[in-house]
Amino acid sequence: MSSINENYLLLESSYLFAEIDNRVTKYQNENPDADIIRMGIGDVTKPLPPAIIDKFKAGVDEMGQAETFMGYGPYRGYDFLIDEIIKHDYQARGIKLDNEEVFVSEGAKPDSGNIQEIFGADNVVAVTDPVYPVYVESNIMAGRGGAMGEDGKYEGLVYLPCTEENGFVPELPQSHVDLIYLCLPNNPTGTVLNRDELSKWVNYARENKAVILFDAAYEAYIQEDDIPHSIYEIDGAKEVAIEFKSFSKNAGFTGTRCAYTVVPKELFGYDSKVNSHSLNDLWYRRLTTKFNGVSYPIQVAAAAIYSPQGQKEIKDIIDYYMENAAIIRESLTEIGLNVYGGVNSPYIWIKTPDGIDSWEFFDLLLEKANVVGTPGVGFGPSGEGYLRLTAFNTLENTRKAMDRIAKLQ
């Protein structure tokens, strides 16, 4: 008789976006003529830009010729891509990395979900609240979270509330923690930390031999100065942080799938005898068993992001989404809602009006404005009373959605 991993039974019955889909599908079936505008899930709408698609096609053609055909590639990814990543995303910011510290992958979601495998089951995990659910759920599956308490928090995790009161900036944990997930710019609140604020976390991790799992999937949306684009801009961060980056949100790779994770060689974890071990070696060891690399044409396409034309084209796309973000912020502020984020991030975090709860506000927007958001409570108990909208829809739909919401007043 097979037995199951009972930790899975501790998970909430449905993943947040599945529940949203259920509600939207039900509404759409009951109202087939409703023109629903989706501003819920963080998926992009703009196609891959020409500089990238051209190289993508060329990579596919190479696969059809005996002379240029590529079989299994290097586990870490091809150097032609890693060289570009290091040059543009790190050297340009004064950060030195070596090629063996960068791991090309098929997504920041799988990597940020899988990374916990190289850490012991007894690590105390801290997450910001609200939070991207992957960090919580991957640790629950691995048995680090315990049961869900009545307060909507897993007993074994340390939650760092991010609320209107603290400006959505998490405070350092009151008790010792070993692993800290930080996502900046933040999904879902849109918050960023400046250099001083991020330094506090790096210092905390250094003092406590903790590791920061830094998800920078939205780095390309940073507009303001003094906001670090990489945690390694902070002195000493290479000794305490793993960084996840993704081509999904900066270049439209959500369906194409390509991302990378940086695991510096200075970073160590400890065994039960307090001997140190390289986390870079452990992550590489995991990859060689469980991963066979990202497809060659996709890595060729990803490298094209860094060409001058690729950079220009992706900047235009980000500017387009950020214009949507500004429209959402302004329109909702104008009708008296309290609105956060949307300045250095494609997410706008809205306080629900009149103290209604997140799902009530979700249903109200769906039914009265045919606009789909994401209920804040789906990201954790401190998200109750908020709703997230994304700037990833078209300009036309964004304007239409804001007009409809304004008319609800």
Q: Which residues contribute to the site for ligand PLP (CB under 6 A)?
A: 42, 107-109, 112, 132, 183, 187, 215, 217, 246, 248, 254, 259
CB of 224 to ligand PLP, least distance (A): 19
Find the helix packing angle between 308-334 and 395-407, rounded to 10°: 10
Between 43 and 266, CB nearer to ligand PLP: 43
Cα–Cα distance measured from residue 92 to residue 330, given in angstroms and rounded to the nearest whole number: 34
Cα–Cα distance measured from residue 207 to residue 252, given in angstroms and rounded to the nearest whole number: 38
* Amino acid making up residue 390: T
CB of 31 to ligand PLP, least distance (A): 28
CB of 40 to ligand PLP, least distance (A): 11
Residue 329: CB atoms within 10 Å: 22
Cα–Cα distance measured from residue 371 to residue 350, given in angstroms and rounded to the nearest whole number: 14
C-beta of residue 39 within 8 angstroms of C-beta of residue 325: no
Between 133 and 264, CB nearer to ligand PLP: 133
Between 144 and 257, CB nearer to ligand PLP: 257
Cα–Cα distance measured from residue 362 to residue 20, given in angstroms and rounded to the nearest whole number: 9
Between 181 and 268, CB nearer to ligand PLP: 181
Kindly report the length of the chain: 409
Between 220 and 259, CB nearer to ligand PLP: 259
* Amino acid making up residue 286: R
Between 247 and 296, CB nearer to ligand PLP: 247
CA nearest 373: which of 384, 385, 383, 363?
A: 363
CB of 237 to ligand PLP, least distance (A): 19
CB of 241 to ligand PLP, least distance (A): 15
CB of 1 to ligand PLP, least distance (A): 35
Measured from each CB, the residue nearest to ligand PLP is 107
